[in-house]
Chains A and B, each alone.
Chain A
Amino acid sequence: MKNLIDILDLSTSEIEQLIDTANDIIDNPDNYRKKCRYKKLATLFFEPSTRTRLSFEAAMMELGGNVLGFSEANSSSSAKGESVSDTIAVVGGYADIIAMRHPKEGAPLVASMKSDVPIINAGDGGHNHPTQTLTDLLTIKREMGHLDNLTVGLCGDLKFGRTVHSLIAALSRYSGIKFVLISPKELELPSYVKDAHIKANGIPCEQTTSLDDAMEKLDILYMTRVQRERFFNEEDYLRLKDSYILTPEKLKNAKENMIVMHPLPRVNEISTAVDSDKRASYFRQAKYGKYIRMALILKLLEVE
């Protein structure tokens, strides 16, 4: 049985297969409508989420399966003090596959050690978010046509931004990748991510605090939100939350075929005036999330 806890659980060829399946689902949705009939997906969201949970649920429904679960820890038995291991042991008896989001880092790994059914990490604190990365890779493939030879700018909260960590891990395996890390000093990329992926693979990487300086070099600008829930201290959050705001003005120096991505939700880091720019890919990106999750569910349930 296979789980998806970390994006590196998947080889690049497995990722390519998932992208091919997702593209086929987009082109031929009718072929997939009954693939997961009589199967159940449990969405265990110990932390609030809208799009990840809904896209998992929509994905299972479009495959003809059913969905059960909860959307916040207060409505689950964890509020009564139940351990992750016990919750999983119980839910594994009700569902064929589990998508789990948890505020504690490593919770889905613990779940996978105890579970009899496949576990998908739908986000564990500021650590990993592999299905967002699959979404990002599908978006890059569809919008740019390839996953290699790209200069990728990552902007905003690179410290707690789990989507950024997983994306760096995934893209570091492709040739010709360059990273430009754009963040305030306090929200710089953790050294373990840099060491394990960027340095280990000898990838060119530039670190800057200026989005304007970086803009013209980029093929992809990946914006992130400064997340209130990751701060122990409200003052730090308020000081850093408006560090980078993307406006049409700032995009003037960007390449014509550059794309702007964002895992969403955004607060104010991308002005709504950017939405009509053809380079703004984030809403298409959100839609692709459903298709890649459909492909992932099929793979983990070993449905042909």
Chain B
Amino acid sequence: MRVDSIKNGIVIDHITCGKAMQIYDMLNLDKLDCTVAILKNVSSNKMGKKDIIKIDCDIEINFDVLGFISPNITVCIVRDGKVAEKKHIDLPEQLTDILHCKNPRCITSTEQDIHHIFRLTDRENGIYRCIYCDTKA
């Protein structure tokens, strides 16, 4: 199968197998006009299988979303057909307005205009908790 290489854009590599669609949704990539390729179950020496997303335009990416959904992701910024920048994304310390608290007793369920913030409380197990009520994400 052939997917053209991109000239100016972003390659999100080393996505945990099966997580590409979740990233696609959370980054709102469906709103883009440019070409977006989702590659699933790509063979990888390091991971066995992985997903890749290629975005054929230069957009602002929320790295916290990437780190939260699939830690150890690599983001390559491509300019003029070459990798201009490479970033390894780890679990972010804090997630702001990415998730909503599920606890009906949490103040975020009623208060308007406040940021929904989750903090990393257990890096080993990737556990985030709501800063307002401590409920697990």
Contact = CB atoms under 8 A, between A and B. Distances in A.
Given A127-B134, A192-B129, A196-B121, A106 B108 contact: yes
Nearest to A126: B105
A184 interface: no
Given A83-B111, A196-B134, 16 more contacts: A83-B112, A85-B114, A103-B105, A104-B107, A105-B105, A106-B107, A106-B132, A106-B133, A107-B111, A109-B107, A110-B111, A110-B114, A110-B132, A124-B107, A127-B105, A192-B129
A105 B132 contact: yes
Contacts of A124: 107
A124 B106 CA distance: 9
Interface string A121-132: 000111100000
Contacts of B110: 104
Interface of B: 103, 105-114, 121-122, 129-136
A195 interface: yes
Nearest to A103: B105
6 contacts: A106-B107, A107-B111, A124-B107, A192-B121, A192-B134, A195-B122
Interface string A98-114: 00001111110110010
A125 B105 contact: yes
Nearest to A232: B104
A105 B121 contact: no
A196 B125 CA distance: 13
Chain B interface, >50% SS class = loop
A231 B36 CA distance: 48
B114 A105 contact: no
Contact of B113 (A85, A102, A196): A85
A158 B110 CA distance: 26
A3 to B, nearest CB: 14
Contacts of B109: 104
Interface centre among A102, A104, A110, A127, by most B CB within 10 Å?
Answer: A104
A84 interface: yes
B107 A107 contact: yes
Contacts of B131: 106, 109
Contact of A85 (B103, B108, B111): B111
Nearest to A111: B107
Contacts of B106: 104-106
Contact of B133 (A84, A85, A105, A196): A105
B113 to A, nearest CB: 7
Contacts of B136: 192
Contacts of A107: 107, 111
A127 B135 CA distance: 10
Interface in A170-220: 192, 195-196
B129 A105 contact: no
A236 to B, nearest CB: 15
B110 to A, nearest CB: 6
A100 B108 CA distance: 17
A102 B105 contact: no
A291 B109 CA distance: 35
Nearest to B136: A192
Ranked nearest first, the 6 interchain pairs of A and B with the lowest CB-CB distance are: A106-B132, A105-B133, A104-B107, A106-B107, A107-B107, A106-B133
Contacts of B108: 106
Q: Which of B108, B112, B132 has the most CB of A within 10 A?
A: B132
Contacts of A105: 103, 105-107, 132-134
Contacts of A84: 107, 111
A109 B136 CA distance: 18
